[in-house]
């Protein structure tokens, strides 16, 4: 009888703990979304790695809602929310395509903050005094198994880690945020340089 009572208490604790984690996760997500709702534009340095190996670094520029500019040593990726330009600086080649929201993956602020959470069970944890938002897909159609989003004291994203059983682990670290610089809309369009090779996929 005592064993049964202990099992019931243990089960109840698990259920309550899960509910609290979900509630805390929803609260943390709301704080993140509220922060980005207040941002007209933002720039941040970033470093992206895959399975522990650095693959990309540069500067990310974001302007509400789907405008994106990613500037690296070899590539310049720009989107105005309807058209995307992928410019290879070394080869002087630009690929133009219709904007797809998920094409920028972890470097799309809109995806991370607003889109991905819609199809996920949400919880949170704390690690080394940093709050971490945990997104786990609630359907098999998702392209990832889990996303962890670290948040700094300003409710901005400091790190994102994506786990995928088939692809491994991808991580992006953001730093040195600059907010509300009144970035011109012209920063989010692109005119191919003279003599560049243009591949238009629209």
Q: How confident is the model at residue 166 (pLDDT cuts 50, 70, 90)?
A: confident
**Domains of the chain, earliest start first:** 2-64+106-185 (2.50.20.10)
20: pLDDT strictly greater than 70: no
Q: CA-CA distances (angstroms) from residue 150 to 46, 88, 134?
A: 14, 31, 9
What's 181's DSSP letter? -
List, for residues 99-130, the tens digit of each pLDDT value: 875 555 556 788 889 988 998 999 999 988 88
CB 133 within 8 A of CB 116: no
73: pLDDT strictly greater than 70: yes
What pTM value is reported for the model? 0.81
8: left (phi over 0), alpha (psi -120 to 50) or beta: alpha
Structure tokens at 45: 């340095």
Predicted local confidence at residue 11, as pLDDT: 35
What's 106's DSSP letter? G
Q: List Cβ<8 Å contacts ≥24 apart for 20-29.
A: 21/123, 21/124, 21/125, 22/121, 22/122, 22/123, 24/123, 24/124, 25/122, 25/123, 25/124, 25/133, 25/134, 26/122, 27/124, 28/124, 28/131, 28/133, 28/151, 29/117, 29/122, 29/133
Predicted local confidence at residue 144, as pLDDT: 86
88: pLDDT strictly greater than 90: yes
Predicted local confidence at residue 167, as pLDDT: 86
Going by C-alpha positions, the residue among 169, 179, 156 that lies closest to residue 62 is: 179
Q: How confident is the model at residue 60 (pLDDT cuts 50, 70, 90)?
A: very high
């Amino acid at each position: 009888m005592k064993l049964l009572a202990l099992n019931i208490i243990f089960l109840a604790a698990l259920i309550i703990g899960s509910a609290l984690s979900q509630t805390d996760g929803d609260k943390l997500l709301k704080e993140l979304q509220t922060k980005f709702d207040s941002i007209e534009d933002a720039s941040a340095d970033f470093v992206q790695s895959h399975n522990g190996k650095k693959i990309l670094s540069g500067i990310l520029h974001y302007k509400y809602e789907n405008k994106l500019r990613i500037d690296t040593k070899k590539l310049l990726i720009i989107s105005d929310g309807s058209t995307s330009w992928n410019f290879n600086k070394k080869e002087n080649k630009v690929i133009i395509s219709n904007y797809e929201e998920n094409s920028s993956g972890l470097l799309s602020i809109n995806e991370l903050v607003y889109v991905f959470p819609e199809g996920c069970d949400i919880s949170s944890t704390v690690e080394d005094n940093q709050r971490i938002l945990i997104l786990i897909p609630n359907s098999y159609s998702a392209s990832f198994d889990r996303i962890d989003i670290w948040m700094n004291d300003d409710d901005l994203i400091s790190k994102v880690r994506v786990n995928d059983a088939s692809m491994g682990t991808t991580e992006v670290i953001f730093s040195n945020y600059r907010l509300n610089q009144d970035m011109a809309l012209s920063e989010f369009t692109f005119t191919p340089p003279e003599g560049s090779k243009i591949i238009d996929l629209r």
